[in-house]
Structure 1
Amino acid sequence: MGLSLPLSVLLMVLNEIWCYFLDPSMFVFLDEGGILLDITVDLKMIRYLAGILAYTLVHEAIHAVFIPKVWESEKTYWGFNGLFGFVYSEEKLSKERFLLVSVMPLFMLSFVFPFLMWTAGRWSWYLIFLSVLNAGGACVDLMNMILVAVQIPGKGIMVSNGYATFYKGVS
């Protein structure tokens, strides 16, 4: 996990650049002396925290949607590990499918969704925050993608048991 921290920073910066590209006016607070944090616990704060939880659940659901036969599988698991959500499957997955399952939440929630919200005129600093937070949280997904891309042969088949992943090369 520690090795994924630089990836987290990189993904967050790339996503901030994307969001700035969509609408530079949303970043005007940076010209006004920085970010002032006035944290009070009220209904609005609870809604913001619920939004973060919902975004996390959607992130994990997107992973799941791209796992073949996920709804019929008795070998697919969901949950929370501390502050982080997870979904993994002990079903056999091709290398290509694993890479697709891993990248889709980052792509959909940090790049496509912000673009759609900006296009629809529903853009806000909070959506930028969720988008950047998702990008940072996807660092483990990206780290897994890098490891799989480097270590598993081209047509390899993978099976995960949560903590370990096994593969078989296919010619």
Structure 2
Amino acid sequence: MTSARWDGSSFLWVVLSVWMACVGCRSSHLHTPPSSVTERATEHKGLIVGMRRTGCDGLCPVYDVHVYDDGCVVYEGMDHVEVVGRRDSQLTGEQVGRLRRILAEHVRAAEVYGDEYGSFFTCPHGIIGLAEVVLTAPEGGVVNPVCYPDFISAGETPLLGGVDYLIDELLGTSRWIGCATGVKGYRGC
């Protein structure tokens, strides 16, 4: 029986291989999730949008997704999703432009912070039993999180023009959360 020997170069090769597999946004490997949103913000500069879906009385997916200036998408699945943990992906420049247009059309600071709707979008929203969307879009002036119920999951008209579903569809989050309904535009399908 031959025993394998670990020398310094073998150990260095293993360490470098593991490091390279875990670094960079273009990787789709599982990463150790950051301990906080603040820590995540230091990884990338220029948050375009941050979105969280909260739980409900049923089996609603619970996850966070953040998109940055460089097109980096950071997903973190928490509950009732196919992929629990962190995944990173990369948007093209065209997709980043489309995301910015979607946000400019549907998420306006005056609407979500203004007198007419301001109290409605206050976090936490607190409609019992319904999933909630928590959204931040700094480029559009929505720097403090706004919250609203996910009315589509209850069969009602979506708020903010269904921007959360447009974001899911553009990012392709169904690859991580699953696509139980199979309805295009619903939960990223």
User: What is the TM-score when the length of structure 1 is the normalising length?
Assistant: 0.26
Higher normalized helix content (fraction of residues): 1
Higher strand share: 2
Higher relative contact order (CA 8 A, sep 6+): 1
Please give the TM-score of this superposition, normalised by the length of structure 2. Answer: 0.24
